[in-house]
Chains A and B, each alone.
Chain A
């Protein structure tokens, strides 16, 4: 079937289907599943269905009732996905919300991420704050804390959590910190983290940490300001 372009400028709505380029400028609403090569949103877009695309570019606000399956997604502004998100590369500047699970090769975010289920990626990098309801499973996790973060579990090869200097106002009302149940990895570096259990080969516990139980194999380094319960060398 031939793929044609869909353009909405101003306010309008259209049905889902097979398209080449979907371009929404202004206020657009799409009913049904979208399968396209490229989707570009400038303004406000709502999709009452699933999105399948090579490239998704959102400048403004995007809402997807179903899931998103794409190669590449770039968001400046906010995106809200009710279902699961699957992509190769994701860049979010602003806010990204995925109610289901998020699977990607690379996730890079500046701002806020909110994932309801599990989140897995080869690289997960964020400057800001995030909430993940399930497991964050990534080869490389780099977090620059700029606000309160919460995740049930983190597992991966290298996990680095550092605090970035924030403004006084932010420090007072949104203290940068990470709360997790379990953190497991080969190489772990934590700052300002509260966790029940941390397990790893080489573990560094930095300032502001409160860890109930640390298990390590090769190396453990602790900051003087860190509070640690029991330590076990396995």
Chain B
């Protein structure tokens, strides 16, 4: 995956933050470890960042750092979501997922009132996929089941959800970390989702609602 990189020096000049702030945010885990990319240049070792991601993140931190504590922000950005439990009412009220998808979970939950973050996340991701029109409702259900079953093992780690289709049959799986993917001819890569991105999105939905 090619992405534009920005050096630490350029980043500081562009955003107007100091070395101290950058290290402090790293320490507080506001900036993920794997964004620090080391490369050797003619002046020795230099640190680079994925440009788009880091700029967006720093803007967010600057916007919010006066209102919220760094720890609160860290909880928001962390790939390991806090033990969030929502009630059914809250989920419906905040329109986090569409009604069709919500029905599935409702059936599964039965009388239980609380919805865990993992449950909500799997539903949220499937919902996004459905809305994009890439998958059918039946496929969505499979993905949802797979995700709910396997995600707990990957919790807190960076992972991707991959959906492939060949001659109308869809296959989905979770991939730990990020890696290059090479598939056979005739196979369509239906979707490749970076799970942490969705975790963040979902957290915003929850906290803003």
Contact = CB atoms under 8 A, between A and B. Distances in A.
Interface in A169-195: 181-182, 184-187
A157 B20 contact: yes
Contact of A181 (B9, B20, B44): B44
Contact of A201 (B13, B18, B23, B27): B18
Contacts of B13: 234
- DSSP majority for the A interface? strand
B108 interface: no
Q: Which of B13, B19, B22, B27: most chain A CB closer than 10 A?
A: B19
Given A201-B18, A234-B9, A234-B13, A184 B43 contact: no
B45 A182 contact: yes
Contacts of B18: 157, 186, 201
A186 B20 contact: yes
A83 interface: no
Contacts of B20: 139, 156-158, 185-187
Interface in A137-173: 137-139, 155-158
Interface residues of A, number: 24
Contact of B44 (A120, A186, A196, A201): A196
B19 A200 contact: yes
Q: Which of B27, B43, B44: most chain A CB closer than 10 A?
A: B27
A226 B87 CA distance: 64
B26 interface: yes
Contacts of B62: none
A129 interface: no
Nearest to A122: B27
A99 interface: no
Interface in B1-56: 9, 13, 18-20, 22-24, 26-27, 43-45
A215 B184 CA distance: 51
- DSSP majority for the B interface? helix
B179 to A, nearest CB: 24
B44 A137 contact: no
B24 A157 contact: yes
B43 A156 contact: no
A20 B43 CA distance: 54
Q: Which of A120, A184, A234: most chain B CB closer than 10 A?
A: A184
A155 B45 contact: no
Interface residues of B, number: 13
Contact of A137 (B9, B26, B43): B26
Given A181-B44, A197-B43, A137 B27 contact: yes
B44 A155 contact: no
A213 interface: yes
A193 to B, nearest CB: 16
Contacts of A93: none
Contact of B19 (A138, A155, A196, A212): A155
A199 interface: yes
A121 B19 CA distance: 16
B19 A181 contact: no
B23 A156 contact: yes
Nearest to A230: B43
A213 B19 contact: no
Nearest to B8: A184
Interface in B126-160: none
Contact of B23 (A155, A187, A197, A234): A155
A176 B112 CA distance: 64
Given A156-B20, A157-B20, A185-B23, 17 more contacts: A120-B27, A137-B27, A139-B24, A139-B27, A155-B22, A155-B23, A155-B26, A156-B19, A156-B23, A156-B24, A182-B44, A185-B19, A196-B44, A197-B43, A197-B44, A201-B19, A213-B43
Interface of A: 120, 122, 137-139, 155-158, 181-182, 184-187, 196-197, 199-201, 212-213, 215, 234
11 contacts: A120-B27, A122-B27, A137-B23, A156-B24, A157-B19, A157-B23, A184-B19, A201-B19, A212-B44, A213-B43, A234-B9
